[in-house]
Amino acid sequence: MLAVLALGTLAPACRREAPTFEPLKLADGATVPAATLARGYDVYTHYCASCHGEKGDGQGPAGSGMRPPPRNFHQGLFKFGGVAAGELPTDDALKRTLRRGLHGTPMFGWDVPPADVDAVVQYLKTFSPRWTQEPPGAALALSEDPWKGREAEAVARGRTVYHVAGKGNAGCSSCHVAYLPRAELAALTESVTGRKVNLANADPYTALPRDSDYSLTVDAKGEATRFAKVLPPDFLFHRLRTVWPQGTRVEGQPYTAQAQREDLYRVMAAGVGGAAMPSWKGAIPEENLWALAYYVQTLVAMHDTDAARDLQQQLRDSKVQP
C-alpha cells in the first residue's frame, strides 16, 4: 500500500486543483467529515499518488514495473487487514501497514503525524464502494500463547501441523514447499493419518504461483483487465511482508522473538485477503495455530544462512534420491 519512491516528493508540484468533498457515510454507521477527507487527499497526493495513482487505481507513474505492484484501491481488497481474509480491514490494521510498511516491498513505513495517518485511511475509503456497502470485518484477537516455556514441543507440533493435512492440521506444504525429506514426510503423514503416500514421483519442494484477485492493469474505466499471480513464500528464501528479522527496529522499537511470533500468528489466523491463503482461525485448534507460528519462526530464522542452504541441498538431493 501507499508505496512511493523519491519521485513522490515531486507529486505536489504537478497535482491538480483539490476536489471539493462531502461527508462520507460508511456502512458501519460512521460518517467521515469533509475536512478529514480533504486532509486525507492532501496526504495521499503528497505521499501515495506517485505509486498508487491519482485515481487510486495502482497506475501511478513511479509504480510501473514494481513487484509486487502498487495496490489498486478501487477493488477494496487488502492482504493484511487484521480480519478474516476477504473482509474489509479495520482502521487499526491499515494504520499499522502505513506506519510499518510491508517488508521486502517498495512500500516502506511512513513517519507522519497520527492525524495524517487517520485522514489518509479515511480518504482511501472514497476509492471503493465496498466501504459504503459493507462494514469492516471483526478484528481477530490475539489469543493467549499456550506454548510459553515449551518452545521445543511447540516446534515439533508445528512441524506436523505444517506438513500434514487433516485431523486438526493445516497442511501448509500443499501450497508452500515442504521442509522434510521425502522419506520423513511420508512417514510423518502415515503416522498421523494412517495413510501411506508415495512421494517418489512428487515434487513437494517447488511452489506454484496461485491466482489472486489483485489487478495488474486496468482499462479506461478503472476496471481490472489482468490479475497478478502470487507465489506462496518459501520461508527459507522469501521475505515475509508483515514479519521482520528479529533485532531490527519496527516502529522505533526492537523487534523481539515474541513480537515476530505474534505477527506470524496474526497472518496465519487471518489469512491473506485476495490470495489463496485462507483464514486458519477456527479452522484448526488454537494450540495448533500457535504451534504453527513457532515452527515457521524457526524457518524464518534460517533465512539466508548456511543452515538454510544445507537444508535446501538436502531437499534437492531428496528429489533425485527418494
Question: What domains does the chain contain, in order, with CATH numbers?
Answer: 6-133 (1.10.760.10), 140-322 (no CATH)
Q: Decide if 60 contacts 52 (C-beta within 8 A).
A: yes
CA dist 172 and 232 (Å) reads 10
Global confidence as pTM: 0.90
Q: Decide if 62 contacts 52 (C-beta within 8 A).
A: no
Q: What is the pLDDT, as a whole number, of residue 4?
A: 39
For residues 262-289, give the mean pLDDT. Answer: 97
CA dist 251 and 263 (Å) reads 14
* Alpha-carbon distances of 99 from 33, 63, 108, 117, rounded to whole Å: 23, 20, 8, 8
Return the top range by mean pLDDT from 136-140, 202-206, 248-252.
136-140
| Contact partners, residue 231, CB within 8 Å, separation at least 6 | 207, 208, 209, 210, 238
CA dist 317 and 306 (Å) reads 16
Per-residue confidence band for 53, with pLDDT thresholds at 50, 70 and 90: very high
Per-residue confidence band for 5, with pLDDT thresholds at 50, 70 and 90: very low
Q: Decide if 12 contacts 45 (C-beta within 8 A).
A: yes
The residue type of 12 is P
Q: Decide if 71 contacts 1 (C-beta within 8 A).
A: yes
Helix (H, G, I), strand (E, B) or coil at 163: helix
The residue type of 78 is F
CA dist 162 and 264 (Å) reads 13
